[in-house]
Amino acid sequence: GRASTLNLRSEVGDIMQKAITKSFPTLDDGLVSKMTRIDPSPVAHFQTAAAIGLSRSTGKTTDEVVNSIIQSVDVGENSIIHSILVNPGNPRMEIFLKDEKVAAVVQHMAKLRETSEGDHRLCLKEILQTDQPKKALVDFGSPNMCKQLHVGHLRTIILGDSICRILEFMGHDVERISHVGDFGLPVAMTIRQALDHDMDFTRPGALEDPTRWPTPSHLTQIYAEAKKRAQSDPSFAERSQKTSKSMQKIDSAEEEVRRSWHVLCASSRRGFGKKVFERLNVVSEERGESFYAPLLDGVTQELIDKKLCVESQGAMVVFLHGHKTPVIVRKSDGAYLYATTDLAAIKHRISSGKDWIVYITDDGQKLHFDQVFSVAKLAGWLDETKKVIHIGTGVIKSNFSPSPDVLILTDTEGKKLSSRDGSPYPLEDLLNEAISKVVTKPDLLQERKSQLSQLELSEAIAFNALKYFDLCHSRDYIFSPESMLSFKGNTAVYLMYAYARICSVRRNLTSKGEHIISTSALPVFTEPEEMALSLALSRFPEQMLNLERTLTPQYLCEYLYDVATKFHSFYGACRIVGEPQQESRLQLCVATEAVILTGFHLLGFTTADVI
Ligand code: ARG
């Protein structure tokens, strides 16, 4: 279970809270705990500005508050606090920990790494494993049929995978779902177009013979033509609408529509599933919109019965406070919409016992999810025990001008590229570009003791770099293969370099005939670089709890960068093998290794074998 004693920050919080309650016994406990926020400090280990709020609530000056708290702080033998520094007039209290308490966390992590069997990337898991696992569903990486994956999909796939990994690591039960767009007008239009042209894949027997399936680019092309035609040919548009509606009861749809639909889904799936998800080593179960089709009538009826859904110009809609336009549940021609499917999906997910539902799409769908969540609350499906969130990703931009070694992902205004505006940048091309960039950098591929072929190696490095580059940005970013593969700065390569150094320390040790790294003695640190690294490492549990709360892998990247930076400084300043401090320093190395390997795992890196 979760070892609270390893979480130094929360332990400091507890001690400070006790001291405050002792100083001001009449204050409400809830208020005290709210005010006692502990932050990392640039000069000490932690700091707190609790005195500001307390001075307001007690009517005393901040100096008076600070002084009385300091009198009450436990610095006894078992306390982790060594001392607190204050300057008159400054309400901030700078908290210093006892070195041996920080060292004990490092020792514990080193021990877990050295005794772990099997996958070392999971060696720290037991510190954080919850004993109250939640049932989570993460809805991510959900492309639409008939269209190639484009660069925009990269973000939801990578972010979604990392969020799943974080929740799994913390001990939750995670279901990964791709809510693919296998229904609706775009799909129906494509089918109509193909049927009108009597394309081979619409004829009997095509499903059984993959050689007759359309290629992803052919599909994209048929869809584009259909879309264009619908604009100039009203009867085609109308027939497509009808087909779309008939597909809502797919089993009773026309035979040729049903047949073509299966081929179209199978060939789209072959196009995006295998090639991209597998290459990126991301697992997700496809449960497309069509899965919920049988539930749409019932959900609509329930909303009508609950008097949430009302008629408006022939359509059935839900009006929401604060929203100008209502949510359309059923159109006047009887067709359901994207929102209806999501209403059915959320109800289905809640009733199948999910506690947390996380949706990941681009920012453009924020309003859609706000509305779906609001209706779900009004309908009584959601309550406070459920956590339902939408995480919007930014956009990948490029402001490069055309040249052989850059990618053009957007127009010069940075306008998002989508397959619907006719100029998709296929995700596969991006992956291949990243690989070819690695191949041109021999220093990335040098001296690797890997079993992998040169191509596998390049692919692994490229994808790690790409994933990291994507995850370390919270919002829109400019794609730059150069900075993505840089040895300096916050990159995957910089982290992999730290790991490579640790591996070389291990080899160096082995070559001297020493095979065991002892973690039995509490390490002692004296150099400032050792102290800085050990403190950064000791923050691991607190960082993980924060990640679980915020589901923001960007924070993980920041943390890993901090650890790697401090490791590189330590490595530069302190000799390790053969020194009197060898045992302490080796513990620092392997604790760092444990943290970095955990990071590789949570960010979805391909095997550490690439280093
Ligand atoms: N297929 C949609 C798209 O490509 C994303 C689906 C997201 N998930 C959901 N439950 N609506 O934009």
Query: At 511, which CATH number?
Result: 1.10.730.10
In a domain, 384, yes or no: yes
Q: Is the CB of 142 under 6 A from ligand 1?
A: yes
- CATH assignment of the domain containing 92: 3.30.1360.70
Residues 278 and 355 in one domain: yes
What is the rounded distance in angstroms from the CA atom of residue 466 to the CA atom of residue 124? 25
Pocket test for ligand 1, best of 159, 179, 285, 389 (most atoms within 8 A of CB): 179
Pocket test for ligand 1, best of 139, 142, 295 (most atoms within 8 A of CB): 142
Residues 305 and 167 in one domain: yes
In a domain, 129, yes or no: no
The pLDDT assigned to 6 comes to: 81
Residues 36 and 161 in one domain: no
In a domain, 555, yes or no: yes
The pLDDT assigned to 4 comes to: 60
CA of 285 to the centre of ligand 1 (A): 14
CA of 219 to the centre of ligand 1 (A): 19
What is the rounded distance in angstroms from the CA atom of residue 522 to the CA atom of residue 514? 20
> CA of 16: how far to CAs of 84, 104, 260, 456, 546, in Å?
11, 21, 67, 52, 20
- Please identify, by atom number, the ligand 1 atom nearest to the C-alpha of residue 143: 4
Residues 9 and 149 in one domain: no
In a domain, 342, yes or no: yes
CA of 199 to the centre of ligand 1 (A): 28
Q: Is the CB of 342 under 6 A from ligand 1?
A: yes
Last residue of a domain, one of 484, 511, 529: 484
Whether the CB-CB separation of 227 and 240 falls below 8 Å is answered with: no
> CA of 119: how far to CAs of 335, 349, 469, 501, 595, in Å?
50, 32, 25, 20, 13
Pocket test for ligand 1, best of 365, 369, 416 (most atoms within 8 A of CB): 365
Residues 6 or more apart whose Cβ sits within 8 Å of residue 117 = none
Whether the CB-CB separation of 306 and 379 falls below 8 Å is answered with: yes
What is the rounded distance in angstroms from the CA atom of residue 153 to the CA atom of residue 466? 13
In a domain, 211, yes or no: yes
Residues 432 and 293 in one domain: no
CA of 179 to the centre of ligand 1 (A): 6
Residues 71 and 158 in one domain: no
CA of 594 to the centre of ligand 1 (A): 36
Beta bridge partners of 362: 393
Alpha carbon nearest to ligand 1 atom 5, residue: 142
- CATH assignment of the domain containing 194: 3.40.50.620
Beta bridge partners of 181: 144
Residues 90 and 113 in one domain: no
CA of 361 to the centre of ligand 1 (A): 6
The pLDDT assigned to 88 comes to: 87
In a domain, 539, yes or no: yes
Q: Is the CB of 593 under 6 A from ligand 1?
A: no
Last residue of a domain, one of 328, 359, 394: 394
Concatenated DSSP letters of 360-392: EEEGGGHHHHHHHHHHHHHTT---TT-EEEEEE
| Cβ contacts of 531-535, under 8 Å, gap ≥ 24 | 531/99, 531/102, 532/566, 532/569, 532/570, 533/563, 533/566, 533/567, 533/569, 533/570, 533/588, 533/592, 534/102, 534/103, 534/105, 534/106, 534/588, 534/591, 535/45, 535/97, 535/102
Q: Is the CB of 144 under 6 A from ligand 1?
A: yes
The pLDDT assigned to 1 comes to: 56
CA of 365 to the centre of ligand 1 (A): 8
In a domain, 345, yes or no: yes
Residues 59 and 79 in one domain: yes
Whether the CB-CB separation of 186 and 228 falls below 8 Å is answered with: no
In a domain, 263, yes or no: yes
Q: Is the CB of 181 under 6 A from ligand 1?
A: yes
- Please identify, by atom number, the ligand 1 atom nearest to the C-alpha of residue 359: 8
Q: Is the CB of 147 under 6 A from ligand 1?
A: no
Residue 445 CA, distance from chain mean position: 28
Indicate the number of domains in the chain.
4
**What is residue 276's DSSP assignment?**
I
Structure tokens belonging to residue 411: 């127009």
CA of 302 to the centre of ligand 1 (A): 24
What is the rounded distance in angstroms from the CA atom of residue 558 to the CA atom of residue 154? 21
Alpha carbon nearest to ligand 1 atom 4, residue: 143
The pLDDT assigned to 414 comes to: 45
What's the chain's length in residues? 611
Pocket test for ligand 1, best of 361, 388, 416 (most atoms within 8 A of CB): 361
Last residue of a domain, one of 440, 459, 484: 484
- Please identify, by atom number, the ligand 1 atom nearest to the C-alpha of residue 180: 1
Alpha carbon nearest to ligand 1 atom 8, residue: 179
Alpha carbon nearest to ligand 1 atom 11, residue: 342
CA of 144 to the centre of ligand 1 (A): 8
CA of 254 to the centre of ligand 1 (A): 27
Residues 250 and 374 in one domain: yes
Residue that is written with structure tokens 């110009």 in the block? 313
Q: Is the CB of 361 under 6 A from ligand 1?
A: yes
Residue that is written with structure tokens 């004993």 in the block? 131
Alpha carbon nearest to ligand 1 atom 3, residue: 143
What is the rounded distance in angstroms from the CA atom of residue 393 to the CA atom of residue 473? 10
Q: Is the CB of 193 under 6 A from ligand 1?
A: no
Residues 47 and 171 in one domain: no
- Please identify, by atom number, the ligand 1 atom nearest to the C-alpha of residue 139: 8
Average pLDDT for runs of 10 along the chain of length 611: 75 95 94 92 92 94 94 92 92 95 96 93 94 97 84 87 98 97 93 97 96 89 93 96 92 94 92 78 94 96 98 97 94 94 98 97 92 97 95 69 37 41 63 82 66 79 90 77 78 91 94 93 96 95 94 96 97 97 98 97 77 50
Residues 334 and 242 in one domain: yes
Q: Is the CB of 216 under 6 A from ligand 1?
A: no
Residues 141 and 113 in one domain: no
Q: Is the CB of 139 under 6 A from ligand 1?
A: yes
Q: Is the CB of 179 under 6 A from ligand 1?
A: yes
The parent domain of residue 465 ranges over: 419-484
Q: Is the CB of 359 under 6 A from ligand 1?
A: yes
